[in-house]
Amino acid sequence: MTPWRRRLRTVTFGALLMAALFGAQGCVYRLMVQQGNFLQPKDLDRVTVGMTKVQVRALLGTPMVADPFQSGRWDYVYYLAGMRLQKPIQRQFTVFFENDKVVRIDRSDKQPEKNAESAAPQPAATPATDSTG
């Protein structure tokens, strides 16, 4: 191999390497940060008032936050950020217990449901009768 060919190969390799480095500067890897308990909505729907702590733990797993000083509350927290998400996804599911039974459930992922009274059809108004006349 002649010296000028070796030099041409070295210059070509250097130019390609520099182009690859400049091109790779725009590629930024965004690490996905996932913390907490990822729970399927169908599993959350299965938790009902009256279930025991053992049943809830079997269904959802160990809670992310279990306060040793307040054993009547379990918090399942989920947080996901990164990649190309506009804003982080954050959900919270809290189960309240009394005497080892579920008494209340709070969910951050459900929209508040309409009041049952306002959703029910109203009966037709009946004319009032006057009993004095």
| Full residue range of the structural domain in which residue 48 is found | 28-111
Domain assignment present for residue 10? The answer is: no
104-127 per-position pLDDT tens digit: 999 876 544 433 333 334 444 444
Its pTM stands at 0.55
In sequence order, what E strands does 37-86 have?
A: 65-66, 73-81
Q: Does residue 72 lie within any of the structural domains?
A: yes
Instruction: Name every residue whose Cβ is closer than 8 Å to that of residue 72 and which is 6 or more positions away in sequence.
Output: 96, 97, 98
β pairing state of 101-107 and 89-98:
antiparallel
- Express each pLDDT in 48-59 by its tens digit: 999 999 999 999
Residue 61 resides in a domain = yes
Strand partners, 35: 79
Residue 1 lies in a domain: no
Q: Which of 42, 34, 59 is nearest to 109 (CA)?
A: 42
Considering only residues 19 and 99, tell me which one the structure prediction assigns the higher pLDDT. 99
Q: Whole-angstrom Cα distance, residue 36 to residue 80?
A: 9
| CATH of residue 50 | 3.30.1450
For the stretch 116-130, what's the b/e string if a residue is b when 16 or more beta carbons lie within 10 angstroms of its beta carbon?
A: eeeeeeeeeeeeeee
Query: Does 6 map to a domain?
Result: no
Question: Is residue 121 a part of any domain in this protein?
Answer: no
Q: Which two tokens stand for residue 130?
A: 């006057």
Give the SS3 label for residue 79.
Answer: strand
In a domain, 118, yes or no: no
